Structure 1
């Protein structure tokens, strides 16, 4: 696991390419005034690996942590990040408060899968991701927004919603020409998906602009603008 420089102030650390691991990548916007981490990692163990990768790359620790949305593979590492302000959409804050109240453990995961087998892939991945439940906590954002928010270091978070998650947010670094997409255009999570569900191409088209040169989804490699446009055209 290693951070790779993408453009300007933006560094990306890819997740596991194996879909069964359900491990999202993260990004860091490095700034001497305070860095911004986009998404927390899927677990405390994953967060510690990200922290080691930050140190190896000589990158500063984050001052802010921005959630692209509330799904576990983007937020369960938050409890391992000290001294950060967690930023997220107000809808995600409500959902994460509900998640925080659940009695997470391997036993609870097994019980939930028995009650709803469709949860199996996600919950098995969670069981593998969390090596210890001691000290584990689901953390809602401590600073919320409705439409959008700009941090003091010129990083903006904008709510876009969509079928994947009601709180889906994209994070822009305009001076670096980068837009971090999270999972915003993905179909709903697998246990909620129907055969008719597919990528939200209309949402993607609205996001493509000549002012942004790189587009980064959480579960795929960064795409240059021309590549992103070609990918959308191929899906249509």
Structure 2
């Protein structure tokens, strides 16, 4: 797997298309003043692969790490990215502080699944993703915002919330015409999902903007504006 340029300064490292792997893709906004990494990888091992691919592509090391939201497959690789400022919505900070206090281990994962079998797909993927818990840590954001935040390299963060996660954030790169959506329009996580829950296409419709040519969610191929509009108009 390697980084490929989507448009302008935006590079993508795709995740695993197998939904059982629960492996989100990440993006890098490359800048000589310090790049912005969007999401951290779903485990230390995944993050190390991403970091090796970044070096192989000759891309600048990240100075900021932005969480699109607090779910494990977007943040569990953060401990592999030294020296970055971690940026996320203020509501995600408290959620990740709670996650950081859990006694993560393969034994703990098994105990949680026995207590709540609906957790099995997610927790099985976590067990496969993390081969050692020795140096593992869940890291909350060190810089938070409420509505919007602007990083000094022309990247804007906008909180959108939604049913998938209360802290869902989209990342805007205006000079490249790219909007990184994270999982913001997805239904709630599987263990919380009800039969009638589906994608929030109304949220995507509100986000569509003629200034942006590309819309990127974390678990799918990038969409052009025309493709995104066709999806929401045809639903």
TM-score, L = length of structure 2: 0.99
* Structure 1: distance between partners of 2:17 and 2:224: 19
* Structure 1: distance between partners of 2:53 and 2:231: 30
Deviation at 1:192, TM superposition (A): 0.3
Tell me, yes or no, if the aligned pair for 2:179 and 2:214 is still in contact at 8 Å: yes
Partner residue of 1:177? 177
Partner residue of 2:106? 106
Deviation at 1:78, TM superposition (A): 0.2
Partner residue of 1:233? 233
* Structure 2: distance between partners of 1:110 and 1:80: 25
* Structure 1: distance between partners of 2:148 and 2:130: 32
Partner residue of 2:208? 208
Secondary structure of 1:119's partner? helix
Deviation at 1:172, TM superposition (A): 0.3
TM-score, L = length of structure 1: 0.99
* Structure 1: distance between partners of 2:230 and 2:202: 14
Structure 2 unpaired stretches of 5+: none
1:35-184 matched pairs, under 5 angstroms: 35-184=35-184
Tell me, yes or no, if the aligned pair for 2:202 and 2:232 is still in contact at 8 Å: no
* Structure 1: distance between partners of 2:233 and 2:192: 26
Partner residue of 2:198? 198
Q: Segments of 4+ in structure 1 off by > 2 A? A: none
Deviation at 1:161, TM superposition (A): 0.2
Secondary structure of 2:133's partner? coil
* Structure 2: distance between partners of 1:119 and 1:4: 34
Partner residue of 1:18? 18
* Structure 2: distance between partners of 1:57 and 1:221: 20
* Structure 2: distance between partners of 1:78 and 1:227: 32
